[in-house]
C-alpha cells in the first residue's frame, strides 16, 4: 500500500476513468488503404461551409464557457485559454458533403488537457457545443476526448481565419466535420444526448465516416 500520495479529487477521478476505460477511444490508426472513408473524394483546397453568418469575435471579446456535469465549471478568456498546455496535431478532414482533405496541421489545446482541468463527473456521457453564430452540435464524451481532438486556434502555423472558425474552433477528425464546431463559445457536459442543429435536421447523432453515418436512418 502506498500512502505517501494523498488521494485527491483529481487522482480519484483519473483512476476511475482508467478503471472504466473511459476516454480510451485514442488515436484511430488505419491502414493507408482505409484512409479515405467510403463515398468520399479528396480535395486540395479547403472549402468553407457554415450557416452563412460568420461572427467576428475579437480575442478581447472572446471567452469559452464550460458548464454542466463537471467538477470545475469555468469561463476562460483568451489569456487563460493560452495558459493551458499547447498541442499540435496532424489530421484529415471528412465532410458529410463528400469532400475529404488530408494532413491538416492544427495547433491549440487538446480536448484531453481541457478535460483534465474541468473534470467531467462520472455521469457525464455527452457534450453539447454552442457557437457564436448560434450553431450547436452534439457528440459522445468519449469521442470528444479522442487523442486527436483539439480546440484549435491555428492552422498551418497561422492564426485560424474567421471563415474557418477563428479565433477558436473544435476539431474532432474521426467524425464528420459538422461535429467540429467553428467559433466555439460553450461546452456543456450532459448525462443524456441532446441533438444539435444538424442532428435535429436529420443528421446522425454520432457521424462516423467509416460507417457512413450521414443521416439518422444510416
Ligand atoms: N459554428 C459553426 N460551426 C460549424 C458549422 C456552422 O455552420 N457553424 N458548419 C459545420 C459544417 S457542416 C462543416 S462541414 C464544417 C466546415 O468547416 P470549414 O468551413 O472550416 O471547412 O464546419 C462545421 N462547423
Ligand atoms: Mo458539413
Ligand 1 atom having least distance to the Cα of 132: 1
Say yes or no: CB of residue 162 within 6 Å of ligand 1. Answer: no
Give the cell for residue 218. Answer: 444510416
Per-residue pLDDT band for 34 (boundaries 50, 70, 90) equals confident
Give the three-state DSSP class for 198.
helix
pLDDT tens digit sequence for 148-157: 999 999 999 9
Say yes or no: CB of residue 182 within 6 Å of ligand 1. Answer: yes
Question: Which sequence spans correspond to the domains of the chain?
Answer: 80-218
Q: Residue 33: its pLDDT value, please?
A: 72
pTM of the model: 0.90
CB 151 within 8 Å of CB 106: no
Say yes or no: CB of residue 164 within 6 Å of ligand 1. Answer: yes
Q: What is the mean pLDDT of residues 42-58?
A: 97
Q: What are the start-end ranges of the H helices in 85-151?
A: 111-118, 141-144
Q: Residue 31: its pLDDT value, please?
A: 67
CB 110 within 8 Å of CB 91: no
Selected residue with higher pLDDT from 86 and 24: 86
pLDDT tens digit sequence for 80-116: 999 999 999 999 999 999 999 999 999 999 999 999 9
25, pLDDT greater than 60 = no
Beta bridge partners of 108: 87, 152
CATH code assigned to 80-218: 3.90.420.10
Among 150, 139, 157, which residue's Cα sits nearest to residue 173?
A: 150
Element (H, E) at 18: helix 9-20
Ligand 1 center–CA 78 separation, angstroms: 22
Q: Whose alpha carbon is nearest atom 1 of ligand 1?
A: 182
pLDDT tens digit sequence for 177-218: 999 999 999 999 999 999 999 999 999 999 999 999 999 977
pLDDT tens digit sequence for 120-149: 999 999 999 999 999 999 999 999 999 999
φ and ψ at residue 162, rounded to 5 degrees? -55, -45
Q: Residue 111: its pLDDT value, please?
A: 98
Question: How far is residue 121 CA from its own chain's centroid?
Answer: 18
Amino acid at each position: 500500500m502506498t500512502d505517501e500520495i494523498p488521494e485527491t479529487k483529481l487522482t480519484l477521478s483519473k483512476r476511475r476513468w482508467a478503471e472504466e476505460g473511459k476516454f480510451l477511444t485514442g488515436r484511430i490508426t488505419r491502414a493507408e488503404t482505409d484512409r479515405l472513408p467510403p463515398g468520399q473524394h479528396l480535395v486540395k483546397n479547403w472549402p468553407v461551409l457554415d450557416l452563412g453568418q460568420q461572427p467576428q469575435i475579437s480575442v478581447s471579446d472572446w471567452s469559452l464557457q464550460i458548464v454542466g456535469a463537471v467538477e470545475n465549471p469555468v469561463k476562460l478568456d483568451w489569456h487563460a485559454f493560452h495558459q493551458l498546455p499547447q498541442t499540435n496535431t496532424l489530421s484529415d478532414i471528412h465532410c458529410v458533403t463528400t469532400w475529404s482533405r488530408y494532413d491538416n496541421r492544427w495547433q491549440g489545446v487538446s480536448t484531453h488537457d481541457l478535460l483534465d482541468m474541468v473534470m467531467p463527473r462520472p455521469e457525464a456521457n455527452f457534450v453539447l457545443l454552442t457557437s457564436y453564430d448560434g450553431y450547436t452540435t452534439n457528440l459522445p464524451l468519449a469521442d470528444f476526448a479522442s487523442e486527436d481532438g483539439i480546440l484549435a486556434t491555428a492552422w498551418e502555423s497561422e492564426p485560424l481565419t474567421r471563415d474557418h472558425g477563428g479565433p477558436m474552433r473544435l476539431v474532432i477528425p474521426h467524425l464528420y466535420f459538422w461535429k467540429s464546431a467553428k467559433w466555439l463559445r460553450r461546452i456543456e457536459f450532459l448525462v443524456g444526448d441532446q441533438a444539435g442543429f444538424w442532428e435535429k435536421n436529420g443528421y446522425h447523432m454520432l457521424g462516423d465516416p467509416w460507417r457512413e453515418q450521414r443521416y439518422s436512418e444510416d
